A = this chain, B = another copy of it.
Amino acid sequence: MRWNELSTPALTVDADVLDRNLRRMADYCRTHGLGLRPHTKTHKIPEVARMQVRHGAVGLTVAKVGEAEVMCGAGLDNILVAYPVLGREKLQRLAALALDRSMLISLDSEIVAEAVAAAMRERGATVGVLVEFDAGLGRCGLEPGPALVELARTVMRLPSLRFRGLMCYPGQIGGDAEARRRELARVAERVERALEGFRRERIPVEIVSAGSTPSAFQSHEIPGLTEIRPGTYVYNDMNTFYQGACAMEDCAARVVATVVSTAVAGGAIVDAGSKTLSSDPLRFGPASGYGFIVEAPDAPIVKLNEEHGYVDTRRASRALKVGDVVRIIPNHVCTCVNMHDEIFVVRQGEVEGTWRVAARGKIR
């Protein structure tokens, strides 16, 4: 079956592009001596995670205990839950995983450290801990300095926790070259400040984890990092493209959609709305819109309802007719994938099979 014979809407991934994206990131990390612990939140698929491991990943990253359960259930190991997990039910499940897998968790408060430690102790499990500092995004993480060292000491005192190192998320690195340079310098300064405190106290820091897709290939310019956690690079998307962090042909995921109405003059409606593409806006680039139509680049998707994509065809060089099947590159592939229970694997236009998005919906 060809891609345009799929029942729509359908999320697809180009297997060759995926493989090239996986290889490029793995090569980059090898070249620069960085560990690659890809964030699986983008794909949520054990099959893709296994490919990442085959390409040399040192482990995997997830955001949720439920996602870790899916990956562990598929035989994967060395999982970082890059999230301050809190709540008895989730921590009991984390402890069950930590009994026979190598698990890491990130946290930035004593409350979470003690809750994790208590749950581990109850099961006789041990979990590695990365203490999180804020690299400048202002989301999670302590300010680099004495409080960070103090929290690491607390972790070291708690018997069922093992202090492994530091984590930050430099999610603000993005946009144009000048903005990236500025934020890269800021992140480097904060990483250095964080490490300096530990050097002074002679506390060994085995892991220093950072990384995001837009900043991934500049990670070697931040001294001190030992590993990175990019996620989006497997598929890429319009936000990645518009930041110059990938080429258009590196966008592996596309939503196949059908034009279902052209009744209103100047427009066309496709059967992909916010419940298929997600309503995440375009955050970078000259254009606005809700996804790029490969077959009609000059026909922007200007608005989404839940099941309707509004295409502005007024300046389109190609007419869109009811029944036409098109491919849409989403703005933000992570939230798009999260809408789908399966993804169709396409190679050279031919549908080879499907993967279940097995960790989708594992929100706890």
* A contacts, CB < 8 Å to B: 7-10, 41, 63-64, 83-90, 108-109, 111-112, 115, 132, 134, 138-143, 171, 258, 260-264, 267, 269, 271, 274-276, 278-281, 305-308, 310, 321-323, 334-335, 338-341, 361, 363-364
Contacts and interface: CB of A to CB of B under 8 A. Distances in A.
A364 B9 contact: yes
A361 B341 contact: yes
B338 A275 contact: yes
A7 B41 CA distance: 20
Given A90-B7, A138-B267, A279 B335 contact: yes
A221 B236 CA distance: 49
- Interface of A: prevailing SS: loop
A307 B83 contact: yes
Identical copies of this chain, number:
2
A199 B223 CA distance: 77
B306 A140 contact: no
Nearest to A231: B306
Contacts of A87: 7-8, 258
A339 B338 contact: yes
Contact of A8 (B10, B112, B260, B364): B364
A86 B258 contact: yes
B84 A260 contact: yes
Contacts of A338: 275, 306, 339
